Amino acid sequence: MGNTKNDRDKHVEAFETHFAAIGGDGWEELTAKELCQLLSIHSLGLNGGSLEQVDEASDKIGFDKHNLVHCDDGSLQVLTLVEFTSERMTAH
């Protein structure tokens, strides 16, 4: 299931708030390449295991193929946002 408009709005808010925090004043003037560099410095990297575990991880976490980024060394990176709320929610 795709993201709702509410999900997308919260993603924009989260990214803008994060970029302001890591990029400081004027972050809106940074190029996409500069924003990528900031993200690479400030993003939390987790070891997900071997490539054979991607399908199992996808089932548990709920990411899709469009969240996977293939790197030159043959590894995969998963780009996703995780939301926590005070309400009990189910994954979509």
Q: Which two tokens stand for residue 77?
A: 């990176």
Q: Does 55 share its domain with 28? A: no
Q: Does 50 share its domain with 92? A: yes
Q: Does 22 share its domain with 50? A: no
Task: Report phi then psi at 89, rounded to 5.
Answer: -125, 155
| Domain range enclosing 22 | 1-43
Count of structural domains within the chain: 2
| pLDDT-derived band at 92, boundaries 50, 70, 90 | very low
- pLDDT, tens digit, 9 for 90 and up, residues 5-16: 888 999 999 999
pLDDT of residue 90 exceeding 70, the answer is no
Task: Find the mean pLDDT for residues 30-47.
Answer: 92
Q: Does 56 share its domain with 24? A: no
Query: What's the number of CA atoms in the CB half-sphere (13 Å) around residue 1?
Result: 6
Q: Does 9 share its domain with 38? A: yes
Handedness of CA 47, 91, 3, 88 (dihedral sign): negative
- pLDDT, tens digit, 9 for 90 and up, residues 47-71: 899 999 999 999 998 899 899 999 9
Task: Find the mean pLDDT for residues 2-28.
Answer: 91
Q: Does 23 share its domain with 59? A: no
Share of the chain above pLDDT 90, in %: 62
